[in-house]
Amino acid sequence: MTQSAEGQFRAGSLAHRVPDLGALELLLAVARLGSLGGAARELGITQPAASSRIRSMERQLGVALVDRSPRGSRLTDAGALVTDWARRVVEAAEAFDVGAQALRDRRDSRLRVAASMTIAEYLLPGWLLALRAQRPDTAVSLLAGNSAAVAERLLADEADLGFVEGVSVASGLDSVVIAHDNLIVVTAPGHVWARRRRPLEASELAVTPLILREKGSGTRQVLDAALGGLARPLIELSSTTAVKAAAVGGAGPAVLSELAVGEELSMRRLVRVPLADVSLARDLRAVWPTGHRPVGPARDLLSLTRG
């Protein structure tokens, strides 16, 4: 017999020989109250159920534990000895429960979130405010980076929940779509594209140097996929805010999330350039390590993103 199989055999045998915690707690209550009926009421079960559980425990152990009489229930000598052992088992179980609760409390007192830039800047603040209303004692740390960095954080156990914007999910992560987004081409009002009458074709977009996010970002992944990897960078910048500022300043056309430029478009600091034959729609996803479904505050945050 292998060591693993022997361990399983011993555990299984012990489970059949040792009464469960509920039965041990019942025996302790009988010893304390001197009444099977009183013990049953204290534990919230019927007296017949309590009697049946005591008899089952006596059969399991092979000894009589309780003498029953019209005057009440009295432990036998064997019952008194078993009760002493039972007390130690129940106390150990209570200590185990307290320790497990402390672990849960420690887990639930913090939440580490990793998010790609657009989600971190334009969606997460609202979600985190709603989470704070539900869990005011949970401390949240936010690690903002591109989609590749988010995956690295999760796989290194440096984050409990992540949010990404790319066309695919890194190996080792599970995901769920939480929202949809569109990338759009924008430029300053003085650029020639701001006055064009016909939509911009993919071929023209592919040969024009653009203000772009860096490789590894979800925005860049979507654009490269749409253009067959042909996007040409005029400037590469590591944040949505930096790309937007460069475009507003007239450095050139940029590709940005529709979420990020609403104010600039309404105030005419940027102009949207219509596209003819290219779709830049994308899914926004929550991600977590495969097989580790979010729990505690991470689960609550995930539910808020889909509300």
pLDDT digits (tens, 9 = 90+) for 134-147: 988 888 889 998 89
Name the token pair of 189: 């009002």
Poorest-confidence range of 53-62, 94-103, 123-132, 155-164?
94-103
Architecture of domain 110-307: 3-Layer(aba) Sandwich (3.40)
Residues facing 184 on adjacent strands: 256
Q: What is the distance between the alpha carbons of residues 118 and 241, in angstroms, rounded to a whole number?
A: 9
**Residue 115, H or E segment:** strand 110-116
In the chain, pLDDT over 90 holds for what percent of residues?
47
How confident is the model over 267-296, as pLDDT tens digits?
999 999 999 988 899 999 999 999 999 988
Q: CATH classification of 3-106, choosing from 2.60.40.10, 2.40.290.10, 3.10.129.10, 1.10.10.10?
A: 1.10.10.10
Which segments of the chain belong to CATH 3.40.190.290?
110-307
Q: What is the distance between the alpha carbons of residues 161 and 255, in angstroms, rounded to a whole number?
A: 27
Which segments of the chain belong to CATH 1.10.10.10?
3-106
How confident is the model over 149-172, as pLDDT tens digits?
999 999 999 999 999 988 889 999
Name the token pair of 90: 């129940």
